[in-house]
Amino acid sequence: MTNFVYLNGEYIPADEAKVSVLDRGFMFGDGVYEVIPVYSGHAFAIEGHMDRLQRSLDAVEIKNPLDIQVWQEIINHLIEINTGNQDAMIYLQLTRGVMEKRDHVFSRDMQPTILIMCQPMEYPSQDKNTKGIKVITRDDNRWADCFIKSINLLPNVLLKQFAVDHDAVESILIRDGLAIEGSASNLFIVKDDIIRTPPISRHMLGGITREVILKICSNEKIVAREIVVTEDELHDADEVWITSSTKEIVPVTTLNQHKVGQGVPGPKWQQLIELYQQYKQSVMRS
């Protein structure tokens, strides 16, 4: 079946979608993006994703060319013509647009390039949830403004590749002795029954999955603290999880070749993954 993308106002087959070589996204990685999970045809936590898109756009001085309702209409239509009621993933990218000649300096009245794609969701294998995953720690060598969901992902790409090349799934990034997040995920730990996640800062991406988990904890009166996690505390944790829109909540059972806790997914993860699935169902019904 043909996969359709939305490109600058048109719905076209993915293999016919073309962008200029002078697009600043292609030349400079000058743009931002969002990844939105879609459950049974409904875009999940869309308001959180749209707020974060606006924060990213403001930070890089690109004017949002569309109203939130228009974004939602386009996303809903793209879901309808591609995956219907299935679970899917929306990838939305906005670059500063096409320049006349290659130049670092940009004009503020450029027309952004908008690309939105919708593809079937690829869930992590069941194994990842029953056995957990391996992660390794790495120095965070990214720039200082990681709160921007920039398409310029070269450090993240290399950090993730390093993990995979070393028999792990994710790199947990350490900056000034603190565990910040993964190369494509946020970080949670559990110590003595208390859930902890590093607080929002310019050095990490405020994950929407992270926000949903904190909301669930607050609704259910489960203690969850937004507080820094030192590298030592990470190694000493009873449970470690990574979270993202496409992975949801994944238990980490090996950290730098050592077992996390008992070396199996822990009870708090079990509780939260069940609550997360219930929350998804309840939001989809409302």
Ligand X SMILES: Cc1ncc(COP(=O)(O)O)c(C=O)c1O
| Catalytically active residues, by annotation | 149
How do beta strands 229-230 and 178-182 pair?
A: antiparallel
Instruction: Give min distance, CB of 142 to ligand X, in A.
Output: 8
Part of the chain binding ligand X (CB under 6 A), chosen from 133-141, 177-185, 193-201, 258-266:
177-185
Q: How far is the CB of 160 from ligand X (least distance, A)?
A: 9
| Residues 216/275, Cβ–Cβ less than 8 Å | yes
Is residue 172 within the footprint of ligand X (CB under 6 A)? Answer: no
| Per-residue interface string for the shown chain with ligand X, residues 236-265, x marking contact by CB under 6 A | -------xxx--------------------
Piece in contact with ligand X (CB under 6 A), picked from 79-87, 115-123, 203-211, 251-259: 203-211
Q: Closest distance between ligand X and the C-beta of residue 263, in Å? A: 25
* Using rule CB under 6 A, residue 181 touches ligand X: yes
Rounded least distance, CB 89 to ligand X, Å: 10
Sheet holding 42-43, edge to edge: 10-13, 4-7, 113-120, 88-95, 31-39, 42-43
Other Cβ atoms within 10 Å of 188 Cβ, number: 27
74 binds ligand X (CB under 6 A): no
Give me the helices (H) in 179-228, please. Answer: 208-220
Name the one range near ligand X by CB under 6 A: 17-25, 59-67, 86-94, 201-209.
201-209
Asked if residue 208 binds ligand X (CB under 6 A), the reply is yes
Q: Among 186, 197, 253, 254, which residue interacts with ligand X (rule: CB under 6 A)?
A: 186
Task: Indicate whether 93 belongs to the interface with ligand X (CB under 6 A).
Answer: no
Q: Is 150 in the site for ligand X (CB under 6 A)?
A: no
- Under 8 Å between Cβ of 250 and 210: no
Q: Amino acid identity, residue 124?
A: P
Taking residue 2's Cβ as centre, other Cβ atoms within 10 Å add up to 10
CA angle in degrees (0–180, nearest 5) for 76-71-92:
85
Give the residue among 171, 84, 161 at the shortest CA–CA distance from 121: 84
The reply on whether position 171 binds ligand X by CB under 6 A is: no
- Per the CB < 8 A criterion, the answer to whether 235 and 255 are in contact is yes
Q: Binding residues for ligand X, per CB under 6 A?
A: 35, 156, 181, 184-186, 205, 207-210, 243-245
